[in-house]
Amino acid sequence: MAAIEKDFHGSVVYQVYIKSFCDSDGDGVGDLPGVTSKLDYLAELGVDYLWLTPFYPSPQRDGGYDVSDYRAVDPAYGTMADFDELVARAHERGIGVMLDMVLCHTSVEHEWFRRALAGEERYRAYYILRDGRGSSGPGDPGQPPTNWDCAFGGSAWKWEPRLGKWYLHLHDVSQPDLDWTNPEVRAECAEVVRFWKDHGVDGFRFDVVNLISKPEVFEDDLCGAGRRLFADGPHIHEYLRELVARAGIGDMLTVGEMASTDLANCVRYTRPEDRELSMSFSFHHLKVDYAGGSKWELMEPDIARLREIFLEWQEGMQAGGGWNALFWDNHDQPRAVTRFGGREGVGLRGSRWDHVGKMLAICVHLMKGTPYVYQGDELGMVNPGYDSIERFRDVETTNYYQIMLEMGKGPEEALRVVNERSRDNGRTPMQWSARPGAGFTEGSPWLEIPASHKLVNAEAEVGVVGSMFEHYRALIRLRHELDVIARGSVRFLDAGPAAPKVIAYERTLGEKRVVVACSFDAEPCSIADLGVSGAEVLIGSYDDEPPAGALRPFEGVAWIM
């Protein structure tokens, strides 16, 4: 099966969270045949690649990012034959398939960990095992080796009597970290990637890959919970180069999920001469509404800060020769439309919801980098607004809900916070239609379908002039048709003192110039002269042209000259 060859600079990737995309057999969980059945939809949208989140066997403690076998398909999602069929049918439509490689940790149910538990030295050496602090000898755990926290709350270390050691887990307790200093681990991981390459896939997304190289010395973090000590570790660039070379994927689309990273490292991860990855995801722009830096403390998004971050990453990656993955949403994020615009007008053309969704899409799709559409973005899907903690499934959410209660928040307040911040906000079933089950399932969905599916759904939008879907389709087409968008240089513009919540930038290539201005303001505002008078409007979030020198609430516009 020949891989798809595309230039990623001019491409758009669509992310499928398989569990919630399309259920073909009525068990309430999405599956591979379900994805195959929707390829015509993706072709109509016009995307170039489809990134599939993990579908490997997994106990599902962390939505499939706890892999128990890297080389198989979980029966809940189908068979290997279903997978091969999906790749073949995607290729027929010119769509490449990218897989998610979760190589920082395994599940405790992975054979390697089981064999470590059984005492096999070879496999004990696959994981990061340490003695406890203050331990009096074998059998006495003592205290965790460092004060690092895991991503989902609580210590990053677990005492395991069968190992006689503490093992490191930067995520859930069921996700022990692999020891990448061990050459056998690195070789095994490269073999896993090669296995899927040989199945004809076209690219890879590497999960939290900048956490694979741990610090040389394990010590307490005196100003935090450890993350800054173990992100972008000492051998990370060497390990990535080695992985890419060994697996033979240097010509494929590769993207690294980079947790708590910085610009200098992302330049190195992605500039072509280093032969690491094609592009990187960074997350700083999605923390502008974390009060005091905490995901679980709410505040209004700080748009001035958002602008600074985009400016730094757009112009900085360009200056260093790196390449950004561009996105608002994924399976770990609440829906950006709710986050930046609230709940007003959901599903109604010309409403705040409509303007916010379209403006957000303009804002990232016309930047320099490769845009990622997360399933349902193109419909304007919103957070579900669940009425009870019982509705949530995500391990991070349920852990932090308890932590918030322990820290003194009342149940109502804690529910309000998870309704804004839970990863389940982005994981609700895809809204294909207004019918019960939202066209996602004929059975009982694994996660409750939001009431909004009655208004916000594919059936109501595909082919409907002025819909969110058609807006996304138009943006994707613009990237395919205009070199200035795919390849032009980027420079941020100052929209003036009366427009503190406007993000503006220009893209230029030769004589061509595209100017983009996006207002995150719920009030109208005047904007400085961006040199666009008389220019043609390329696309906008309102149906009609913007007033001269001003933007309406949540208006996004691009002009071309």
Which residue lies nearer to ligand NOJ by CB, 325 or 499? 325
Q: Does 65 participate in binding ligand NOJ (rule CB under 6 A)? A: yes
Other beta carbons less than 10 A from residue 340's beta carbon: 22
CB of 208 to ligand NOJ, least distance (A): 5
Contact indicator for 96, 202 with CB cutoff of 8 Å:
yes
CB of 214 to ligand NOJ, least distance (A): 15
Which residue lies nearer to ligand NOJ by CB, 29 or 557? 29
Q: Which of 207, 332, 448, 506 is catalytic?
A: 207
**Alpha carbon of 128 to those of 145, 148, 163: distances in Å?**
11, 14, 11
Of 207, 276, 448, 506, the residue at the interface with ligand NOJ (CB under 6 A) is: 207
Annotation marks residue 459 as catalytic: no
Burial 407-444 (b: 16+ CB within 10 A, else e): eebeeeebbebbbbbbbbbbbbbbbbeeeebbbbbeee
| Residues 277, 271: Cα–Cα separation, whole Å | 8
Of 12, 52, 101, 102, the residue at the interface with ligand NOJ (CB under 6 A) is: 102
Helix (H, G, I), strand (E, B) or coil at 355: helix
Instruction: Return all residues near 518 (Cβ < 8 A) that are at least 6 apart.
Output: 359, 360, 362, 363, 502, 503, 504, 555, 556, 557
Q: Does 110 participate in binding ligand NOJ (rule CB under 6 A)? A: no
Residue 450 is classified by DSSP as: P
Which residue lies nearer to ligand NOJ by CB, 62 or 448? 62
- Draw the binding track, 80-99, toward ligand NOJ (x: CB under 6 A; -: no contact): --------------------
Residue for token digits 């999605």? 286
CB of 426 to ligand NOJ, least distance (A): 10
Q: Which of 177, 257, 394, 555 is catalytic?
A: 257
Contact indicator for 519, 555 with CB cutoff of 8 Å:
yes
CB of 330 to ligand NOJ, least distance (A): 7
Q: Does 329 participate in binding ligand NOJ (rule CB under 6 A)? A: no
CB of 207 to ligand NOJ, least distance (A): 5
Which residue lies nearer to ligand NOJ by CB, 178 or 359? 178
CB of 84 to ligand NOJ, least distance (A): 25
- Draw the binding track, 480-519, toward ligand NOJ (x: CB under 6 A; -: no contact): ----------------------------------------
Identify residues 146-185 at the interface with ligand NOJ (CB under 6 A).
171
Identify residues 247-306 at the interface with ligand NOJ (CB under 6 A).
257
Which residue lies nearer to ligand NOJ by CB, 150 or 456? 150
| Residues 459, 440: Cα–Cα separation, whole Å | 12
Of 208, 356, 366, 379, the residue at the interface with ligand NOJ (CB under 6 A) is: 208
CB of 103 to ligand NOJ, least distance (A): 10
CB of 171 to ligand NOJ, least distance (A): 4
Helix (H, G, I), strand (E, B) or coil at 507: strand
Q: For the purposes of burial, counting CB atoms within 10 Å of the CB of 104, is it exposed (0-12), middle (13-18) or buried (19 or more)?
A: buried
- Please give the size of the binding site for ligand NOJ, defined by CB under 6 A: 10
Q: Which alpha helices (H) appear in 407-467, and where do they start and end?
A: 411-421, 458-461
Which residue lies nearer to ligand NOJ by CB, 66 or 354? 66
Joined together, the tokens standing for residue 307 give 């602008």
| Residues 1, 460: Cα–Cα separation, whole Å | 36
Contact indicator for 440, 30 with CB cutoff of 8 Å:
yes
* Residue-by-residue DSSP string for 284-350: GGGGTTBGGG-TTSB----HHHHHHHHHHHHHHHHHHT--BEE-S--TTS--HHHHHHTTTTTT-TT
Annotation marks residue 31 as catalytic: no
CB of 211 to ligand NOJ, least distance (A): 9
CA atoms within 13 A on the CB side of 350: 3
Instruction: Return all residues near 123 (Cβ < 8 A) that are at least 6 apart.
Output: 112, 113, 115, 116
Measure the CA angle with vertex 442, ends 441 and 444; round to 5°. Answer: 75
| Packing angle of the helix pair 263-270, 236-247 (nearest 10 deg) | 20
Q: Which stretch binds ligand NOJ (CB under 6 A): 44-52, 59-67, 280-288, 309-317?
A: 59-67
Q: Which stretch binds ligand NOJ (CB under 6 A): 41-49, 61-69, 262-270, 505-513?
A: 61-69
Which residue lies nearer to ligand NOJ by CB, 171 or 214? 171
Identify residues 331-360 at the interface with ligand NOJ (CB under 6 A).
331-332
Q: Which stretch binds ligand NOJ (CB under 6 A): 57-65, 107-115, 158-166, 410-418?
A: 57-65
Which residue lies nearer to ligand NOJ by CB, 376 or 556? 376
Give the residue nearest to ligand NOJ (CB).
65
Joined together, the tokens standing for residue 397 give 């959410």
- The contact set with ligand NOJ (CB under 6 A) reads 62-63, 65, 102, 171, 207-208, 257, 331-332
**Positions marked catalytic:** 207, 257
